[in-house]
Amino acid sequence: MNIMLNLRAVRGRAYPRVIGALREPSWMLWEVVLPMLSIAAFIYFYRSLNAPKEFEGFVVLGGVMTTYWLNVLWGMASQFYWEKETGNLQLYLAAPMSKMSILAGMALGGIFGTTVRAVSIIFIGVFVFEISFVISHPFLLVAIFMVTLLAMYGMGMMFASLYLLWGREAWNMNALFQEPIYFITGQNFPVKALGPTVAMAASVIPLTLGLDAMRQLLFPEAAGWGFLDPMLELGILCVSAVIMLVMARQLLAFMERKGRETGKLTMRWQ
Protein backbone atom coordinates (compact mmCIF):
# COMPACT_ATOMS: atom_id res chain seq x y z
CA MET A 1 0.00 0.00 0.00
CA ASN A 2 1.29 3.44 -0.94
CA ILE A 3 0.93 5.37 2.31
CA MET A 4 1.75 8.81 0.88
CA LEU A 5 -0.80 8.36 -1.90
CA ASN A 6 -3.49 7.46 0.61
CA LEU A 7 -2.60 10.33 2.92
CA ARG A 8 -2.86 12.69 -0.05
CA ALA A 9 -6.29 11.19 -0.80
CA VAL A 10 -7.37 11.78 2.80
CA ARG A 11 -6.21 15.39 2.60
CA GLY A 12 -7.75 15.84 -0.83
CA ARG A 13 -11.18 14.62 0.30
CA ALA A 14 -11.10 16.52 3.59
CA TYR A 15 -10.07 19.76 1.86
CA PRO A 16 -13.38 20.63 0.14
CA ARG A 17 -15.29 19.99 3.35
CA VAL A 18 -13.03 22.21 5.44
CA ILE A 19 -12.91 24.95 2.82
CA GLY A 20 -16.62 24.55 2.11
CA ALA A 21 -17.47 24.98 5.78
CA LEU A 22 -15.55 28.26 5.88
CA ARG A 23 -16.42 29.53 2.43
CA GLU A 24 -20.19 29.28 2.76
CA PRO A 25 -21.14 31.22 5.91
CA SER A 26 -24.82 30.72 5.05
CA TRP A 27 -24.38 26.97 5.59
CA MET A 28 -23.00 27.65 9.03
CA LEU A 29 -25.95 29.88 9.88
CA TRP A 30 -28.46 27.20 8.97
CA GLU A 31 -26.56 24.44 10.60
CA VAL A 32 -26.24 26.27 13.90
CA VAL A 33 -29.70 27.81 13.93
CA LEU A 34 -31.59 24.67 12.90
CA PRO A 35 -30.52 22.40 15.74
CA MET A 36 -30.89 25.32 18.18
CA LEU A 37 -34.60 25.59 17.40
CA SER A 38 -35.33 22.06 18.54
CA ILE A 39 -32.81 22.27 21.39
CA ALA A 40 -34.54 25.42 22.66
CA ALA A 41 -37.93 23.72 22.35
CA PHE A 42 -36.74 20.75 24.42
CA ILE A 43 -35.20 23.03 27.04
CA TYR A 44 -38.46 24.96 27.41
CA PHE A 45 -40.28 21.63 27.52
CA TYR A 46 -38.17 20.56 30.51
CA ARG A 47 -38.74 23.98 32.12
CA SER A 48 -42.48 23.55 31.72
CA LEU A 49 -42.18 20.31 33.73
CA ASN A 50 -39.99 21.97 36.38
CA ALA A 51 -37.21 19.50 35.63
CA PRO A 52 -33.85 19.85 37.45
CA LYS A 53 -31.44 22.21 35.67
CA GLU A 54 -29.08 19.40 34.65
CA PHE A 55 -31.79 18.00 32.38
CA GLU A 56 -31.50 21.13 30.28
CA GLY A 57 -27.80 20.34 30.07
CA PHE A 58 -28.69 16.85 28.81
CA VAL A 59 -30.54 18.53 25.95
CA VAL A 60 -27.56 20.70 24.99
CA LEU A 61 -25.17 17.73 25.19
CA GLY A 62 -27.62 15.63 23.17
CA GLY A 63 -27.87 18.44 20.62
CA VAL A 64 -24.09 18.63 20.30
CA MET A 65 -23.68 14.90 19.76
CA THR A 66 -26.66 14.82 17.41
CA THR A 67 -24.90 17.21 15.04
CA TYR A 68 -22.12 14.61 14.74
CA TRP A 69 -24.67 11.85 14.29
CA LEU A 70 -26.37 13.81 11.51
CA ASN A 71 -23.00 14.36 9.88
CA VAL A 72 -22.31 10.63 10.11
CA LEU A 73 -25.65 9.91 8.41
CA TRP A 74 -25.77 12.60 5.74
CA GLY A 75 -22.09 13.39 5.32
CA MET A 76 -20.68 9.87 5.54
CA ALA A 77 -23.20 7.07 5.21
CA SER A 78 -25.12 8.46 2.27
CA GLN A 79 -22.14 10.13 0.64
CA PHE A 80 -21.33 7.36 -1.86
CA TYR A 81 -25.00 7.35 -2.80
CA TRP A 82 -24.81 11.09 -3.58
CA GLU A 83 -21.49 10.63 -5.40
CA LYS A 84 -23.19 7.99 -7.53
CA GLU A 85 -26.11 10.31 -8.22
CA THR A 86 -23.80 13.15 -9.27
CA GLY A 87 -21.51 10.91 -11.29
CA ASN A 88 -18.37 11.17 -9.13
CA LEU A 89 -18.36 7.63 -7.79
CA GLN A 90 -16.80 6.08 -10.88
CA LEU A 91 -13.95 8.61 -10.63
CA TYR A 92 -13.24 7.52 -7.07
CA LEU A 93 -13.33 3.86 -8.06
CA ALA A 94 -11.00 4.42 -11.00
CA ALA A 95 -8.45 6.33 -8.91
CA PRO A 96 -5.56 4.29 -7.47
CA MET A 97 -5.97 4.98 -3.74
CA SER A 98 -7.91 2.96 -1.14
CA LYS A 99 -11.57 3.87 -0.88
CA MET A 100 -11.11 3.90 2.90
CA SER A 101 -8.88 6.95 2.43
CA ILE A 102 -11.75 8.75 0.74
CA LEU A 103 -14.04 7.88 3.63
CA ALA A 104 -11.39 8.92 6.17
CA GLY A 105 -11.01 12.27 4.39
CA MET A 106 -14.76 12.77 4.43
CA ALA A 107 -14.83 11.96 8.14
CA LEU A 108 -12.01 14.37 9.04
CA GLY A 109 -13.48 17.18 6.95
CA GLY A 110 -16.94 16.47 8.34
CA ILE A 111 -15.67 16.46 11.93
CA PHE A 112 -14.09 19.86 11.37
CA GLY A 113 -17.27 21.50 10.08
CA THR A 114 -19.43 19.78 12.66
CA THR A 115 -17.14 20.80 15.52
CA VAL A 116 -17.60 24.45 14.59
CA ARG A 117 -21.36 23.90 14.84
CA ALA A 118 -21.06 21.91 18.06
CA VAL A 119 -18.99 24.63 19.72
CA SER A 120 -21.59 27.22 18.68
CA ILE A 121 -24.33 25.11 20.27
CA ILE A 122 -22.35 24.80 23.53
CA PHE A 123 -21.73 28.55 23.46
CA ILE A 124 -25.44 29.30 23.05
CA GLY A 125 -26.31 26.69 25.69
CA VAL A 126 -23.97 28.25 28.23
CA PHE A 127 -24.65 31.93 27.55
CA VAL A 128 -28.31 31.94 26.50
CA PHE A 129 -29.74 29.06 28.49
CA GLU A 130 -27.23 29.31 31.36
CA ILE A 131 -26.26 25.65 31.34
CA SER A 132 -23.35 24.79 33.66
CA PHE A 133 -20.96 22.00 32.75
CA VAL A 134 -18.71 20.58 35.46
CA ILE A 135 -15.51 19.22 33.96
CA SER A 136 -14.13 17.06 36.72
CA HIS A 137 -12.25 14.48 34.61
CA PRO A 138 -11.08 16.38 31.52
CA PHE A 139 -8.82 13.63 30.11
CA LEU A 140 -11.44 10.93 30.48
CA LEU A 141 -14.03 13.25 28.95
CA VAL A 142 -11.84 14.00 25.94
CA ALA A 143 -10.96 10.32 25.54
CA ILE A 144 -14.63 9.29 25.58
CA PHE A 145 -15.57 12.05 23.14
CA MET A 146 -12.79 11.11 20.72
CA VAL A 147 -13.48 7.37 20.86
CA THR A 148 -17.22 7.99 20.47
CA LEU A 149 -16.51 9.99 17.32
CA LEU A 150 -14.17 7.29 16.03
CA ALA A 151 -16.81 4.61 16.57
CA MET A 152 -19.60 6.75 15.13
CA TYR A 153 -17.66 7.65 11.99
CA GLY A 154 -16.59 4.01 11.70
CA MET A 155 -20.27 3.16 11.71
CA GLY A 156 -20.81 5.83 9.05
CA MET A 157 -18.13 4.21 6.90
CA MET A 158 -19.85 0.87 7.35
CA PHE A 159 -23.18 2.33 6.23
CA ALA A 160 -21.47 4.06 3.32
CA SER A 161 -20.32 0.65 2.12
CA LEU A 162 -23.80 -0.81 2.53
CA TYR A 163 -25.42 2.13 0.76
CA LEU A 164 -23.01 1.88 -2.16
CA LEU A 165 -25.47 -0.13 -4.22
CA TRP A 166 -28.66 1.41 -2.92
CA GLY A 167 -30.87 4.01 -4.53
CA ARG A 168 -33.53 5.89 -2.62
CA GLU A 169 -33.38 3.22 0.07
CA ALA A 170 -30.20 4.91 1.31
CA TRP A 171 -31.88 8.29 1.69
CA ASN A 172 -34.92 6.79 3.37
CA MET A 173 -32.85 4.62 5.67
CA ASN A 174 -30.95 7.69 6.83
CA ALA A 175 -34.20 9.49 7.51
CA LEU A 176 -35.26 6.54 9.61
CA PHE A 177 -32.04 6.72 11.62
CA GLN A 178 -33.00 10.07 13.12
CA GLU A 179 -35.96 10.33 15.54
CA PRO A 180 -36.15 6.60 16.42
CA ILE A 181 -32.41 6.62 17.11
CA TYR A 182 -32.71 9.82 19.18
CA PHE A 183 -35.21 7.93 21.31
CA ILE A 184 -33.35 4.68 21.86
CA THR A 185 -29.95 6.34 22.41
CA GLY A 186 -31.40 8.71 25.02
CA GLN A 187 -30.58 11.91 23.18
CA ASN A 188 -32.27 14.18 25.74
CA PHE A 189 -32.76 11.92 28.72
CA PRO A 190 -30.74 9.26 30.59
CA VAL A 191 -30.84 6.02 28.59
CA LYS A 192 -31.05 4.10 31.87
CA ALA A 193 -34.72 5.12 31.99
CA LEU A 194 -35.42 2.73 29.10
CA GLY A 195 -34.40 -0.25 31.24
CA PRO A 196 -31.24 -2.36 31.05
CA THR A 197 -32.35 -4.54 28.11
CA VAL A 198 -33.20 -1.67 25.77
CA ALA A 199 -30.19 0.35 26.94
CA MET A 200 -27.90 -2.62 26.30
CA ALA A 201 -29.36 -3.17 22.83
CA ALA A 202 -29.06 0.55 22.08
CA SER A 203 -25.38 0.39 23.02
CA VAL A 204 -24.70 -1.09 19.59
CA ILE A 205 -24.93 2.54 18.49
CA PRO A 206 -21.84 4.28 19.89
CA LEU A 207 -23.84 7.46 20.51
CA THR A 208 -25.67 5.74 23.39
CA LEU A 209 -22.66 4.95 25.55
CA GLY A 210 -20.81 8.10 24.52
CA LEU A 211 -23.71 10.28 25.60
CA ASP A 212 -24.25 8.33 28.80
CA ALA A 213 -20.60 8.57 29.83
CA MET A 214 -20.32 12.28 29.00
CA ARG A 215 -23.56 13.01 30.86
CA GLN A 216 -22.11 11.40 33.99
CA LEU A 217 -18.86 13.33 33.68
CA LEU A 218 -20.37 16.74 32.85
CA PHE A 219 -23.29 16.60 35.27
CA PRO A 220 -22.00 14.79 38.40
CA GLU A 221 -25.22 15.59 40.30
CA ALA A 222 -27.06 13.32 37.84
CA ALA A 223 -24.48 10.52 38.01
CA GLY A 224 -27.14 8.27 39.54
CA TRP A 225 -28.80 8.22 36.14
CA GLY A 226 -25.68 6.65 34.57
CA PHE A 227 -26.19 3.33 32.82
CA LEU A 228 -22.65 1.94 33.15
CA ASP A 229 -19.39 3.17 34.66
CA PRO A 230 -17.74 5.71 32.27
CA MET A 231 -14.47 3.73 32.26
CA LEU A 232 -16.33 0.59 31.23
CA GLU A 233 -18.18 2.57 28.58
CA LEU A 234 -14.85 3.85 27.26
CA GLY A 235 -13.61 0.27 26.97
CA ILE A 236 -16.74 -0.86 25.12
CA LEU A 237 -16.51 2.14 22.79
CA CYS A 238 -12.86 1.30 21.98
CA VAL A 239 -13.82 -2.26 21.04
CA SER A 240 -16.81 -0.96 19.11
CA ALA A 241 -14.64 1.51 17.14
CA VAL A 242 -12.24 -1.24 16.08
CA ILE A 243 -15.09 -3.56 15.05
CA MET A 244 -16.82 -0.80 13.04
CA LEU A 245 -13.66 0.14 11.16
CA VAL A 246 -12.73 -3.46 10.35
CA MET A 247 -16.28 -4.24 9.24
CA ALA A 248 -16.39 -1.07 7.14
CA ARG A 249 -13.24 -2.15 5.31
CA GLN A 250 -14.56 -5.67 4.70
CA LEU A 251 -17.98 -4.48 3.61
CA LEU A 252 -16.58 -1.83 1.31
CA ALA A 253 -14.47 -4.39 -0.53
CA PHE A 254 -17.40 -6.81 -0.73
CA MET A 255 -19.95 -4.27 -1.91
CA GLU A 256 -17.56 -2.74 -4.44
CA ARG A 257 -16.93 -6.18 -5.95
CA LYS A 258 -20.65 -6.90 -5.94
CA GLY A 259 -21.34 -3.56 -7.58
CA ARG A 260 -18.79 -4.16 -10.33
CA GLU A 261 -20.27 -7.62 -11.02
CA THR A 262 -23.87 -6.41 -11.18
CA GLY A 263 -23.09 -3.13 -12.91
CA LYS A 264 -24.91 -1.09 -10.28
CA LEU A 265 -22.10 1.30 -9.41
CA THR A 266 -23.04 3.84 -12.04
CA MET A 267 -26.82 3.48 -11.90
CA ARG A 268 -28.57 6.76 -11.10
CA TRP A 269 -32.07 7.81 -10.04
CA GLN A 270 -33.07 4.36 -8.80
Partner 1 sequence: MSLKSSMWLQYQIDANWTRPLVFVVYNILRPVGAALLLVAMFYVVTGGYMGGGSLAYLYVGNAFFMLIAQTLFFVGWVVHDDREHYQVLKYLYISPMSYFKYLIGRTAMRFLLSGFALMVLIVLGYLLRIPYRIDWLLLVAVFLVGWAFIVGAGLLLSGINMLTARHGGAVGEALAGIFYLLSGAIFPLSILPQWVRGFSLALPSTYWFSLVRRAVLGAESEEVMAQFTTLQVVLYPMAISMVLLGLSYLSFLGVDHLTRKKGMLDMTTTY
**Residues within the interface to partner 1 (CB under 8 A):** 26, 30-31, 33-34, 37-38, 40-42, 44-51, 55, 85-86, 167-169, 172, 175-176, 178-183, 186-190, 193-194, 225, 269-270
Q: Which is nearer to partner 1, 188 or 240 (CB)?
A: 188
CA-to-CA distance for 17 and 10, rounded, in angstroms?
A: 11
Smallest distance, partner 1 to C-beta of residue 183, A: 4
Smallest distance, partner 1 to C-beta of residue 58, A: 9
Q: Which is nearer to partner 1, 25 or 138 (CB)?
A: 25
Q: Which is nearer to partner 1, 190 or 259 (CB)?
A: 190
Q: In this structure, is the dihedral angle defined by the CA atoms of residues 215, 221, 225 and 226, taken in order, positive or negative? A: positive
Q: How far apart are the first and last CA of the chain?
A: 34
Smallest distance, partner 1 to C-beta of residue 138, A: 27
Smallest distance, partner 1 to C-beta of residue 12, A: 17
**Neighbouring residues of 230: CB distance < 8 A, sequence distance ≥ 6:** 137, 140, 144, 213, 216, 217
Smallest distance, partner 1 to C-beta of residue 82, A: 9
CA-to-CA distance for 23 and 43, rounded, in angstroms?
A: 32
Smallest distance, partner 1 to C-beta of residue 108, A: 21
**Neighbouring residues of 14: CB distance < 8 A, sequence distance ≥ 6:** 105, 106, 108, 109, 112
Q: Which is nearer to partner 1, 133 or 182 (CB)?
A: 182
Q: Which is nearer to partner 1, 85 or 233 (CB)?
A: 85
CA-to-CA distance for 137 and 140, rounded, in angstroms?
A: 6
Phi, psi (5° rounding) for residue 111? Answer: -65, -40
Q: Which is nearer to partner 1, 173 or 243 (CB)?
A: 173
Phi, psi (5° rounding) for residue 193? Answer: -65, -20
